[in-house]
């Protein structure tokens, strides 16, 4: 499997009025890698996902994907080239069924994409296929967001707080499922507060604070870093063994 960067983000800046939400953030992700993106609320994690997906255009810096500069590409063009995402607040078509939501997304699928039926089985939504999306609970709607993204055949998936609302058994199943995607050379960037889920899923995390990356490495090493402890973990080191 190639370890050349699929995605390269270099010194991204994003401002909203006088507020600098991203202040020179850089990262890279290789095919088949799952990168965790963690940090306190307001640290810029979702803003960075919005820049990578094309929902926001940055005020400075560079985004490259598959060796091409895509910094100012619109969101739909990035999706056509293999970047898709979920949302922190799910955005299904609520008056369509679960199956119809996925089938609609599949109309924009790239070659080799999973079929709607395969995606529904993969995400555990097959039994809910005929239900209206608005009847799903919030965690099921997040899974539907993931299903719609996967059925387009992405090479990079941006996953924004998928673990919220999932029970321990569901978390283990979802971690296994996402690792299965990585085994198929799909890259994932996972924004998450649930450290147990992050620990199950990733080998590498980037910790953000105030729009900057302050640490890169394993979650176990992050828990031992005094700067991370101060700004993210409330000055208390995390026992990673306790968040399985």
Give the tens place of pLDDT for each residue, 149-167.
999 999 999 999 988 878 8
- Look at residue 234 and tell me whether its pLDDT is greater than 60: no
Look at residue 169 in the predicted model and tell me its pLDDT: 85
**Beta carbons of 34 and 180 less than 8 angstroms apart:** no
Angle between helices 98-106 and 116-123 (to 10 degrees): 130
In the chain the domains, ranked by start, together with CATH numbers, are 1-82+157-239 (3.40.50.300), 92-154 (no CATH)
Look at residue 156 in the predicted model and tell me its pLDDT: 98
- Look at residue 2 and tell me whether its pLDDT is greater than 60: no
Read off the pLDDT band of 241 (50, 70, 90).
Answer: very low
Q: What is the mean pLDDT of residues 20-33?
A: 97
Q: What is the dihedral of CA 205, 207, 211, 214, to 10 degrees?
A: -110
- Look at residue 244 and tell me whether its pLDDT is greater than 50: no
How confident is the prediction for the chain on average, in pLDDT?
Answer: 91
Read off the pLDDT band of 121 (50, 70, 90).
Answer: very high
| 65: its two tokens | 């994907």
By the 10 Å C-beta count (0-12 exposed, 13-18 middle, 19+ buried), 167 is classed as: exposed
- Look at residue 242 and tell me whether its pLDDT is greater than 60: no
Look at residue 231 in the predicted model and tell me its pLDDT: 76
Q: What is the mean pLDDT of residues 46-70?
A: 97
Could you say which DSSP state residue 70 is in?
-
Look at residue 167 in the predicted model and tell me its pLDDT: 82
Look at residue 232 in the predicted model and tell me its pLDDT: 61
* 3-class secondary structure, 193: coil
Interior CA angle at 99 toward 197 and 55, to 5°? Answer: 60
Beta bridge mates, 187: 156
Look at residue 154 in the predicted model and tell me its pLDDT: 97
What span, in angstroms and rounded, lies between the C-alpha atoms of 88 and 161? 6
pLDDT tens readout for residues 84-110: 999 988 989 999 999 999 999 999 999
Closest listed residue to residue 98, CA positions, set 59, 55, 151? 151
């Amino acid at each position: 499997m190639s370890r050349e960067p699929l995605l390269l983000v270099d010194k991204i800046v994003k401002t909203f009025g006088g507020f600098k939400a991203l202040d020179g953030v850089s990262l890279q992700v290789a095919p088949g890698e799952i990168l965790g993106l963690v940090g306190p609320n307001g640290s810029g994690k979702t803003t960075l996902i919005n820049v990578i997906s094309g929902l926001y255009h940055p005020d400075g810096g560079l985004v490259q994907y598959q060796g091409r500069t895509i910094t100012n590409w619109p969101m739909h063009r990035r999706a056509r080239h293999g970047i898709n995402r979920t949302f922190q607040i799910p955005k299904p078509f609520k008056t369509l069924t679960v199956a119809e939501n996925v089938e609609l997304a599949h109309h924009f699928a790239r070659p080799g994409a999973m079929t709607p039926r395969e995606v529904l089985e993969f995400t555990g939504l097959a039994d809910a296929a005929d239900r209206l999306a608005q009847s799903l609970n919030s965690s099921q709607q997040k899974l539907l967001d993931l299903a719609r993204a996967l059925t387009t055949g992405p090479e990079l998936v941006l996953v924004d707080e998928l673990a919220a609302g999932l029970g321990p058994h569901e978390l283990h199943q979802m971690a296994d499922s996402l690792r299965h995607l990585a085994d198929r050379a799909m890259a994932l960037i996972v924004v998450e507060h649930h450290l147990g889920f992050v620990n199950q899923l990733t080998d590498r995390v980037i910790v953000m604070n105030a729009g900057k990356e302050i640490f890169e490495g394993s979650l176990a090493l992050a828990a031992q870093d005094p700067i991370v402890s101060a700004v993210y973990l409330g000055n208390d080191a995390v026992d990673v063994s306790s968040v399985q």
